[in-house]
Amino acid sequence: MTAALARLRELVEIESPSGDTAGLDGCYELLGDWSPLGSPLRLVRDGVPHLYWEGGGGDGSVLLLGHADTVWPRGTLSGWPCRVEDGRMTGPGAFDMKAGLVMAMEALELAGDVGHVRMLVTGDEEVGSLTSRPLLEEVARDCAAVLVLEPSADGGAVKTARKGCAMYRLAVAGRAAHAGLEPESGVNALVELAHVVLAVAALGDQEAGTTVTPTVARAGTTTNSVPDVAHVDVDVRAWRLEELHRVESGLSRIRASLPGASVELSGGVNRAPLERARSAGLLETARGVARAAGLPLLGEAAVGGGSDGNFTAALGVPTLDGLGPAGGGAHARHEWVDTRALGERAALVAGLIRALAPRG
> Tell me, what's the pLDDT at 281?
98
Task: Using DSSP, state whether 83 is helix, strand or coil.
Answer: strand
Q: Point out the residues of the chain with pLDDT beneath 50.
A: 1
Of 117, 102, 110, the C-alpha closest to 52 is 117
201: left (phi over 0), alpha (psi -120 to 50) or beta: alpha
Q: What is the 3-state secondary structure (H, E, C) of 272-312?
A: CCECHHHCHHHHHHHHHHHHHHCCCCCCEEEECCCCHHHHH
Cis (ω within 30 of 0) for the bond into 167? no
**pTM (predicted TM-score):** 0.90
> Do residues 95 and 337 touch, judged by C-beta distance below 8 A?
yes
Percent of the chain whose predicted confidence (pLDDT) is above 70: 98
- pLDDT of res. 2: 87
State the greatest distance between any 2 C-alpha atoms of the chain, in Å, as a whole number.
Answer: 84
Q: What is residue 359's predicted lDDT score, i.e. its pLDDT?
A: 82
Cα(94)–Cα(336) distance, integer angstroms:
6
Whole-angstrom distance, CA of residue 146 vs CA of residue 240: 21
> What's the rounded Cα separation, in Å, for the pair 331 and 323?
18
**Structure confidence at residue 58 (pLDDT):** 64
